[in-house]
Amino acid sequence: MRVVTALLAAALLLAGVAGCGGSGAEPGAPVGATLVLDFIPNAAHTGIYAARRQGYYRDAGIDLTIRQPGESTDAPKLLAAGRTDFAILDIHDLGIARERGLDVVGLMPIVQRPLAAVIANANSGVRRPRQLQGREVGVTGLPSDEAVVDSEISADGGDPAKVKRVTIGFNAVSSLAAGKVAAATGFWNAEGVALRRQGVPVRIFKVDRYGAPPYPELVLVASRQTVERRPQLVSSMVEATKRGYGFAVTHPAQALDDLLAEVPSLERADQAAQMSALRPVLAPAPFRPAVLNAWARWDLEHGLLERPLDVEAAFDEP
């Protein structure tokens, strides 16, 4: 009888552990989760750091670890391999990852508009994109840069083939400041802000004003496996992150404090300037299916995707 009782007790104990997901964590204890950023921390990430510092992730039952990307970081592969739970991806990288067979899923927009732009040195005399025909435009070498240049010149009635593209890597600020190129691709919230802070006169042509739809540049992403097997974690992560970005919009100075407290190497004046530029596009909002479909067509048209994307499968907002 004692043997039977012991076996029954053991079975009940194992059932209890299985009911807790097999983690062995105390009931009510926060669940550990990891998030890989798309870039070094900056003002675009204030909502995430604010959510952690203000306790929103903890309130949602999540103990979040934020990881900065390294040179070898490939967030879609980390997601697919289960080596991270969440990541912030450029929306174009999300589409490319899915085309390569990685079942990653967009959960919520981090910013509501494209950040990509063509930035012209105002001293070059360029007042609109089509005036870049016959001029040198700096590009990083990424395919998305080519798409931005093509879209803007075409939308403004010019011929993209007449633009002289020069690969400058990620040196748009120094190249424009020195007048080495008439314009360069970059992010209006980063390079655009940095140039103006240096006193370089610039004209910024945002891509969604010249041919591109108003797609969300950055997206919170998880693997399909995580979405299906851990729906509560996914839902809690999204809600806490939305709460953090809502806080960042209404309390930008405090959110900036939260970012700098976590990443003290950042310069406050630079991040404050970026935050001021970004604030109008940080307010949490749901995905807009019509915009996502227009974005997928734009990426296909400009060669970022090789075949039509199943948009419904690529985005699954909790």
Higher pLDDT, 282 or 19: 282
CA separation for the pair 96, 75 (Å, rounded): 12
Do 227 and 106 lie in a common domain? yes
Residue 303 lies in a domain: yes
Residues 225 and 310 grouped into a single domain:
yes
Residue type, 247: F
Residues 229 and 91 in one domain: yes
So what's the pLDDT on residue 231?
A: 97
The backbone torsions φ and ψ at residue 138, rounded to the nearest 5 degrees and listed phi first, read -80, 135
Asked if 135 and 164 touch (Cβ cutoff 8 Å), the reply is: yes
Q: Which of 193, 209, 225 marks a domain boundary?
A: 209
Domain stop point among 174, 209, 244: 209
pLDDT classification of 24: cutoffs 50, 70, 90: very low
24 domain residue, yes or no: no
Domain assignment of residue 178, given as a range: 116-209
Same domain, residue pair 222 and 158: no
Q: What would the two tokens of residue 89 be?
A: 């991806």
In this prediction, residue 29 carries a pLDDT of: 85
Question: 91 lies in a domain?
Answer: yes
Model pLDDT for residues 159-217, shown as the tens digit of each residue: 999 999 999 999 999 999 999 999 999 999 999 999 999 999 999 999 999 999 999 99
Residue-level length of the chain: 318
Among 11-25, 37-51, 54-68, 277-291, name the one with the lowest average pLDDT.
Answer: 11-25
The candidate with the shortest Cα–Cα distance to 42, out of 240, 218, 209, 203, is 218
Asked if the structure places residue 8 within a domain, the reply is: no
CA–CA separation, 214 vs 294, rounded Å?
9
Degrees to nearest 5, angle at CA 317 with 212 and 234? 130
Residue burial 122-131, b: 16+ Cβ < 10 Å; e: rest: eebebeebbb
What total of structural domains would you count in the chain? Answer: 2
What is the rounded average pLDDT of the residues 255-278? 97
